[in-house]
């Protein structure tokens, strides 16, 4: 890999570290190309001094480099942002656009794929809990179908799980402003660091309207954390990584119930009987 980096980027590499699918050296990270970069978002953020990593173009003036039949993108770290509610508040950027996003269709596609895939794997812990999370996804789909309409869009992140996710240009998308805060809340919950009062304080400080808070609930219902863990396990990770999710299953139900009850005082929203009346 050192020779390839030297050849394509004219960069000399001394210490090269490979971790979790990423090659790190100096202030650079060479990542697998999994998603096209939205260059309009990238250019806008760069022009407005948002802490986004630089894309490094190769000697062919392309940002995608094929090395041993695999595609990579080289990024240069230009910031060291640690995500917090304060950071999400500081960089809450409207896209001046409204749309009806197909969350439900994407989630239906996920379920269809995983229901077929689970039959092909031999991971007992995954199999034991899979249909619980498939059911939770179906609840999220039904909930979202009832409330979907054209909402304002914001510059958002696909995930906020890793420390590089906030500034990684491959991780940006346009979505409702409910996306980032709900995905971050899920991360905090499974690290046992979420205070629901902090979540509602974030809402009040950042003009979250009724529809924003309801969209957060739809996103909290959707178990993205489970599917991320599933993908990691079938890609070679330890099956024991699912334990932290299974162990907090009931606590997460309590969190969802508490959120609903708290929000229901001010907002009209659909009810999921099995969860709320449990």
- Domain co-membership, 66 together with 89: no
Q: Give the pLDDT confidence score for residue 21 in this predicted structure.
A: 87
Across the chain, the runs of DSSP E, i.e. the strands, are 17-19, 22-25, 28-32, 54-56, 65-67, 70-76, 94-99, 151-157, 172-175
CA distance 95 to 36: 19
271 Cα distance to chain centroid: 25
Write out pLDDT tens, residues 14-54: 999 999 889 999 999 999 998 889 999 999 999 999 999 99
Mean pLDDT calculated for residue range 247-274: 95
In this prediction, residue 252 carries a pLDDT of: 98
Residues 59 and 101 in one domain: no
Percent of the chain with pLDDT over 90: 95
Q: Are residues 125 and 229 in the same domain?
A: yes
**Choice between 76 and 21, residue whose per-residue pLDDT is larger:** 76
Last residue of one domain, picked from the residues 76, 100, 130: 76
Tens-digit pLDDT profile for residues 192-226: 999 999 999 999 999 999 999 999 999 999 999 99
Number of domains within the chain: 2
pLDDT tens by residue, 134-166: 999 999 999 999 999 999 999 999 999 999 999
Q: What is the pLDDT of residue 268?
A: 87
**Backbone phi, psi, residue 151, to 5°:** -115, 160
Q: What's the pLDDT tens digit per position in 84-108?
A: 999 999 999 999 999 999 999 999 9
Please give the pLDDT value at position 193: 97
Q: Are residues 70 and 89 in the same domain?
A: no
Residue 100: CATH number of its domain: 3.90.1200
CA pair distance 268, 217, nearest whole angstrom: 12
Alpha-carbon distance values, 102 to 41, 77, 109, 151 (Å): 20, 32, 11, 12
Question: Does one domain contain both 61 and 89?
Answer: no
Give yes or no for residue 266 having a pLDDT over 90. no
- Residue 210 to residue 240: CA distance in whole angstroms: 39
Range of the domain at 233: 85-276
Residues 19 and 138 placed together within one structural domain of the fold: no
- The chain-wide mean pLDDT, for the chain, equals 96
Dihedral sign, Cα of residue 20, residue 23, residue 28, residue 32? negative
Last residue of a domain, one of 52, 76, 100: 76
Long-range contacts of the stretch 237-243 (C-beta < 8 A, 24+): 239/123, 239/124, 239/125, 239/126, 240/125, 242/125, 242/126, 242/129, 243/125
Q: Are residues 121 and 89 in the same domain?
A: yes
Q: What's the pLDDT at 20?
A: 86
pLDDT > 90? residue 278: no
Q: What is the pLDDT of residue 214?
A: 96
Chosen domain end from 40, 57, 76: 76
């Amino acid at each position: 890999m050192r020779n390839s980096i030297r050849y394509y980027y004219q960069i000399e590499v001394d210490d090269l570290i490979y971790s979790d699918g990423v090659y790190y050296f100096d202030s650079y990270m060479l990542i697998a190309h999994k998603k096209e970069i939205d260059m309009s978002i990238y250019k806008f953020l760069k022009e407005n001094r948002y802490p986004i990593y630089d894309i490094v173009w190769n000697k062919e003036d392309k940002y995608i480099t094929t090395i041993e039949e695999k595609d990579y993108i080289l990024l240069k770290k230009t910031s060291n942002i640690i995500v917090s509610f304060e950071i999400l508040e500081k960089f809450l950027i409207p896209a001046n656009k409204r749309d009806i996003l197909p969350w439900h269709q994407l989630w239906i596609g996920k379920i269809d794929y995983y229901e077929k895939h689970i039959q092909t794997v031999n991971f007992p812990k995954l199999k034991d809990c899979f249909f619980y999370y498939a059911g939770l996804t179906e609840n999220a789909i039904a909930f979202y179908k009832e409330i979907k309409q054209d909402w304002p869009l914001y510059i958002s992140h696909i995930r906020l799980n890793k420390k590089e996710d906030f500034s990684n240009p491959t991780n940006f998308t346009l979505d409702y402003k409910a996306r980032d805060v709900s995905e971050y809340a899920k991360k905090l919950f499974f690290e046992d660091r979420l205070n629901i009062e902090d979540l509602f304080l974030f809402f009040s400080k950042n003009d979250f309207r009724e529809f924003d808070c309801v969209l957060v609930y739809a996103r909290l219902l959707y178990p993205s954390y489970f599917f991320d863990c599933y993908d990691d396990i079938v890609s070679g990770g330890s099956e024991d990584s699912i334990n932290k999710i299974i162990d907090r299953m009931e606590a997460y139900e309590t969190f969802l119930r508490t959120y609903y009850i708290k929000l229901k005082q001010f907002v009209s929203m659909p009810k999921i009987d099995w969860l709320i009346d449990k």
